[in-house]
Amino acid sequence: MKARNIALKIFEHGIENGFLTKDVWELTDVLDKRDRDFVRKLVYGTLRFNKSLDKTIDSFLRKPNKTPKRVRNLLKLGAYEILLLRVPEYASVNEYTEMVPYKFKGLVNAVLRSLAKSKENVSLNQSLPLWLYKTLKRDLRDDLDIYLKKSLGHELSIRAVKVEREKLKTEVSNLVNCKEMIYSPWGLTCSKGQNLKNAAFERGDFTFQDESSQLVAVAVDPKKDEKILDACGGVGTKASHFIQISPNSNVFYNDLNDKKRNIATSNFKRMGLFPTEMWNFDLLKDDISHLRLSFDKVLLDAPCSALGTLGKHPDVLLRIKQDDAEKKSNLQLEMLENVWGILKDGGTLTYSVCTVTKSETDGVISNFLKRHKDAKCVDPFSGKYEFGFNGFGIQLLKYMEGFYISKIVKV
Ligand SMILES: C[S@@+](CC[C@H](N)C(=O)[O-])C[C@H]1O[C@@H](n2cnc3c(N)ncnc32)[C@H](O)[C@@H]1O
């Protein structure tokens, strides 16, 4: 199957399911590296600009409502290629024309050729649902442009685990161009996408992790003999980081999701970093009162609207709903309430989310502080970085990804 056919399949899977699963990317295994990169760029980009491309295509169709879904999807991929990837018309129009049944060949050919001549301007902000654009404009103000720019793509980020960062840089430099991250002392940013799952990865020399996420360990600051809980441990990236930094601390991992726990188990094994215990409590339903006052530190890396990850996961746009941030912020507050009780006096609760809405960030924290007179927010990085602590937490969007960290002390 040719690259564009595979791109169409993956794109349609995303539209139908609201998710791009790891399995569907396996379709690209038959392609060489260049084509694999092309498919990834094409699918991610078309998903990101999906809504704007729909509007653009409509303006070139005589009967937009009568155009079959498959033909419309194909036109969107073609339009993205021509208008945003700037692939020359001669290199793509014929390919897309070949992909449709005979009766639509004329239509596809004509629309894509007209598009190529039009040099239509397709913008990302028009690809966001209007309510989302308004929310982001209200919450981010002058930083909205930064947000939109960062949503256009994503560099690969890795964290050195078993080897020093310099050694890791040498190890992977034959595959990708890397540079040291500015703020995380463990991180490398890799500019050229390549399959990095090589021997060094299998040996546990590194793991994939964004810079903002690496800074969570700086905020938690794990120390020898401390009892630390990663309450929403996911695939174990942050818990493994705590163990890496402080092997003599006691790191506990929890996540209610079986699939995530299984991946975390194999990640811990690969990196040779094992938590003291692994749990599967549902933080919203299960009684965890037997753990009362037992932890020095708790991390709540809470489920969120994930709007800070649009560069990496444009499929977020396919499933986001208008009341998501509000609903999530209620759950985040409830989770904070539930883990607060298991923290020792003098202990710290670190809260993080990979999003940028005010309700899920400062909003949650300010509501929490109103309910707890024994809670005090501190600069998560104790003055180490000048990110601008606003009394609740820090939004890292200006410096790296859209990601929020807050640190609460139980006084
Ligand atoms: C943002 S992810 C955490 C990512 C993780 N910290 C990491 O670095 O890989 C949020 C996690 O919370 C888990 N989760 C969602 N609701 C939960 C609940 N009620 N109780 C426990 N875990 C929950 C999800 O399964 C998901 O893995």
- pLDDT tens figures, 34-75: 899 899 999 999 999 999 999 999 999 988 899 999 999 999
Q: Are residues 72 and 145 in the same domain?
A: no
Q: Are residues 406 and 292 in the same domain?
A: yes
Q: How far is 110 from 257, CA to CA, in rounded Å?
A: 49
Q: Are residues 140 and 253 in the same domain?
A: no
Q: How far is C-alpha 291 from the geometric centre of its chain's CA atoms?
A: 31
Is the pLDDT at 78 greater than 80? The verdict is yes
* H or E, element range at 228: strand 227-230
Tens digits of residue pLDDT in 211-253: 999 999 999 999 999 999 999 999 999 999 999 999 999 999 9
Residue in 157, 255, 261 to alter for ligand 1 test, most ligand atoms within 8 A of Cβ: 255
Show the domain range for 202: 130-207
Q: Are residues 65 and 180 in the same domain?
A: no
Q: Cβ atoms within 10 A of the Cβ of 332, count?
A: 26
**The tokens of 378 are what?**
């501190």
Q: Are residues 114 and 150 in the same domain?
A: no
Q: Are residues 304 and 396 in the same domain?
A: yes
* Residue of minimum CA distance from atom 25 in ligand 1: 257
Alpha helix segments (H runs only) across 221-346: 237-245, 258-271, 316-319, 324-340
Cβ atoms of residues 81 and 42 within 8 Å: yes
Count of the separate structural domains present in the chain: 3
* Mean pLDDT of all residues in 114-137: 90
Supply the CATH number for residue 95's domain: 1.10.940.10
Cβ atoms of residues 407 and 352 within 8 Å: no
Q: Are residues 202 and 275 in the same domain?
A: no
Q: How far apart are the CA of 383 and the centre of ligand 1, in A?
A: 28
**The tokens of 141 are what?**
């103000």
* 12: amino acid identity, one letter: E
**The tokens of 299 are what?**
């991390």
Q: How far is C-alpha 257 from the geometric centre of its chain's CA atoms?
A: 18
Give residues (CB < 6 A) around ligand 1. 232-235, 237-238, 255-257, 260, 282-284, 301, 303
Given 86, 121, 156, the domain boundary residue is 121
CA torsion sign for 8, 11, 124, 150 is: negative
Q: Are residues 167 and 267 in the same domain?
A: no
Q: Are residues 240 and 354 in the same domain?
A: yes
User: What average pLDDT does the structure give for the chain?
Assistant: 94
Supply the CATH number for residue 172's domain: 3.30.70.1170
Name residue, tokens 């807050």. Answer: 406
**The tokens of 377 are what?**
């927010």
Is the pLDDT at 195 greater than 80? The verdict is no
Tens digits of residue pLDDT in 317-357: 999 999 999 999 999 999 999 999 999 999 999 999 999 99
Supply the CATH number for residue 306's domain: 3.40.50.150
Q: Are residues 152 and 135 in the same domain?
A: yes
Given 185, 207, 229, the domain boundary residue is 207
Q: How far apart are the CA of 302 and the centre of ligand 1, in A?
A: 6
Phi, psi of 331 (to 5 degrees): -65, -40
How would residue 164 be classed by pLDDT, with cut points 50, 70 and 90?
very high
Ligand 1 nearest atom to the CA of residue 354, by list position: 1
Q: Are residues 108 and 18 in the same domain?
A: yes
Cβ atoms of residues 30 and 63 within 8 Å: no
Cβ atoms of residues 280 and 288 within 8 Å: no
Given 158, 188, 207, the domain boundary residue is 207
Q: Are residues 263 and 388 in the same domain?
A: yes
How would residue 154 be classed by pLDDT, with cut points 50, 70 and 90?
confident
Q: How far apart are the CA of 373 and the centre of ligand 1, in A?
A: 27
Ligand 1 nearest atom to the CA of residue 235, by list position: 9
Q: How far apart are the CA of 411 and the centre of ligand 1, in A?
A: 27
Q: Which of 231, 202, 190 is nearest to 335 (CA)?
A: 231
Phi, psi of 253 (to 5 degrees): -120, 140
Q: How far apart are the CA of 245 and the centre of ligand 1, in A?
A: 22
User: Who contacts 53 (Cβ-Cβ below 8 Å, separation ≥6)?
Assistant: 46, 76, 79, 80, 122, 127
Q: How far apart are the CA of 255 and the centre of ligand 1, in A?
A: 6
pLDDT of residue 1: 58
